[in-house]
Structure 1
Amino acid sequence: MKRLLNYAGSKWSMAQKIIDLMPAHKSYLEPYGGSLAIFMNKDKCVLETINDIDGRLVNMYEQIRLYPEELAKLCDFTLYSRKEFENALEISSNDLEDARRMLVRCWFSIGGMITRNSFKRNVSWKGPYNTFEWNDVPNRIIEASRRLKDAQIECKDALDLIQENNSKDVLIYADPPYLSKTRTSKQYINEYSVDQHIELLEVLNDHKGYVILSGYDSDIYQKYLEGWYMVKHEVSVGITNLKKKKAEEVIWCNFEPPGQISILEILENR
């Protein structure tokens, strides 16, 4: 489906590449839901669990699933304005209204970085066309609501959830906050320390089923993911088109995808 959220670190542009790596599975866990780009585009399986520690984001998932028509109507009547963007920073006591505000924060902010108060506006008629995208969001809400009905939604610590689902039948796709030293800015509401990254890597190493993990390459990841397979993709990163630059996104798998090589093989051939 089309992008549901403009969200920092989202994987909408490379979702199919990640999905193509997935082996057959009966149970699927996405412990860092974010924009849900992978979940929204993959085929459904018997049991699917999506999670995010951000309660405001999870409330938005739930409102899309429970009240899609009402939320779509609210967004349809929301003007693309700086004032709306600024007002949406305040959390509403009404869950449906707060879901609308969360959508506004994601779509009206530069680079989907909701931690910053940076309103995204067009300065050229050549695009990108922000209002065109926003005007289509009501349609995307309706489509997303159908897919969300297939999932159980959690809002808890990702590491606890991974350990609770330690089964050979569970495929995990993990897209955690990237190591801060591998990027140039703070992008996430809930950042991860180096120790938290190490704990995550240890937990994923202990998982009995398949794991697919996204990130940027680093010494820490090479150390803890020795023997895992790496798939590299060049991506454009940056909050505006003028400031974007090329970076190398890495996907690690604890199984062998077709035609790929492991970290161990790379080190042996140096």
Structure 2
Amino acid sequence: MALLLPRRSAALRYPGSKWSIAGSVIAHFGAHHHYLEPYFGSGAVFFTKEPSPHELINDTNGAVVNLFRMLRDRTEELCWALEATPWSRDEYAISDVITGDPLEDARRFVVRVWQAHASDLAKKTGWKTRGVRQRARGMSDRWSRVPAELRSMAWRLAEAEIENRPAVDVMRRFSAADCLIYADPPYLPQVRTQRMYGQEMTTAEHVEMLDVLRRHAGPVVLSGYDNDLYNAALAGWRQVTLKPPKVEKGATRTEKLWIKP
């Protein structure tokens, strides 16, 4: 049963993000002192859960890490810049161009993930626009709320450590009995039909991750689509289905958790 936590709006669109089911994930978190998210992404679970005494968030995508560092360290500058940014084809066209200015690059990253047709970081999918039959201001109205939503999240980052390192290295470093790992890696390549992420993981990298998680001294909650690799590697772990199965391009996908202990 999900905890009665306030459901946050998705302040950042991101492949595989867990905004709609964050409470259901958090319901399976046990007692801990250290909290580690090695595959941070949009941070949906982190921003929904109550703070832990020590928290470390990590992502191998430098654009993600830069965004959350700017949100933590330069909150008002970033949010003011976004408030002055229109829903614009021209803004989207330059959103993947790196300038070297961390604040401007963070602004452009938010534009890219919001103003694209789909939450796909592997490639540009085109600017999202609507025809005359649909409500004209629907998307720009939603966009206008994003700066305030990001601003409301900034406080959660104040005490968090933010890393940009290989996930397995971070997990090995924090192998302790009182460290809870919530791992939400990119979906296995064989359970989806296309690339989605700026930083993908091979099947071999998933195997390495599973070995690290099995050896972790503390509790682990791992999320992903149901698959034979995880089921075999984590035999004996508790499994929970989070959503009813859905069909994507003819294939059935079931969102699950694998939980230790």
2:39 paired with 1:32: yes
SS in 1 for 2:91: helix
SS in 2 for 1:133: helix
Q: Which of 198, 207, 220 pairs up with 1:211? A: 220
**Native 8 Å contact 1:65 1:146 kept in 2:** yes
Q: Which of 6, 9, 22 pairs up with 1:2? A: 9
Which residue number in structure 2 is paired with residue 254 of structure 1?
A: 260
Q: Equivalents in 2 of 1:88, 1:21: separation in Å? A: 37
Q: 1:40 to 1:133 in 2, by over 3 A?
A: same
Q: Which of 34, 53, 75 pairs up with 1:46? A: 53
Which residue number in structure 2 is paired with residue 77 of structure 1?
A: 84
Q: 1:90 to 1:27 in 2, by over 3 A?
A: same
1:130-177: CA deviations, max 9, x gaps?
A: 222210011012111111113110000000000000000100000111
1:32-77: CA deviations, max 9, x gaps?
A: 0000000000000100000001111101100000111111111111
Deviation at 1:236, TM superposition (A): 5.6
Q: Equivalents in 1 of 2:136, 2:232: separation in Å? A: 43
Q: What does 1:119-138 align with in structure 2 at a 5 Å threshold?
A: 119-123=127-131, 124-125=133-134, 129-138=138-147
Q: Equivalents in 2 of 1:173, 1:198: separation in Å? A: 17
Q: Equivalents in 2 of 1:64, 1:178: separation in Å? A: 27
Q: What does 1:128-207 align with in structure 2 at a 5 Å threshold?
A: 129-207=138-216
Q: TM (normalized to structure 1)?
A: 0.88
Q: What does 1:33-112 align with in structure 2 at a 5 Å threshold?
A: 33-112=40-119
Q: Give the aligned length.
A: 251
Q: 1:228 to 1:244 in 2, by over 3 A?
A: same
- Runs of 4+ in structure 1 deviating by more than 3 angstroms, as ranges, are 235-238, 243-246
SS in 1 for 2:118: helix
Q: 1:244 to 1:106 in 2, by over 3 A?
A: farther
Residue type at the aligned position of 2:259 = C
2:244 paired with 1:234: yes
**Native 8 Å contact 1:173 1:211 kept in 2:** yes
Which residue number in structure 1 is paired with residue 20 of structure 2?
A: 13
2:230 paired with 1:224: no
Deviation at 1:128, TM superposition (A): 9.8
Q: TM (normalized to structure 2)?
A: 0.91
Q: Which runs of 5+ in 1 are unaligned?
A: 256-270
Q: Equivalents in 1 of 2:15, 2:250: separation in Å? A: 13
Q: Equivalents in 1 of 2:77, 2:245: separation in Å? A: 36
**Native 8 Å contact 1:234 1:246 kept in 2:** no
Deviation at 1:237, TM superposition (A): 7.6
Q: 1:235 to 1:108 in 2, by over 3 A?
A: farther
After the TM superposition, which of the residue ranges 80-89 and 164-173 deviates more from structure 2?
A: 80-89
State percent identity of aligned pairs. 37
Residue type at the aligned position of 1:89 = D
1:71-125: CA deviations, max 9, x gaps?
A: 1111111110111111111011111000000000110112211322222223342
Which residue number in structure 1 is paired with residue 5 of structure 2?
A: none
Q: Which runs of 5+ in 2 are unaligned?
A: 1-7
**Native 8 Å contact 1:8 1:188 kept in 2:** yes
Q: 1:235 to 1:96 in 2, by over 3 A?
A: farther
After the TM superposition, which of the residue ranges 157-166 and 112-121 deviates more from structure 2?
A: 112-121
**Native 8 Å contact 1:7 1:34 kept in 2:** yes
Q: Equivalents in 2 of 1:151, 1:48: separation in Å? A: 5
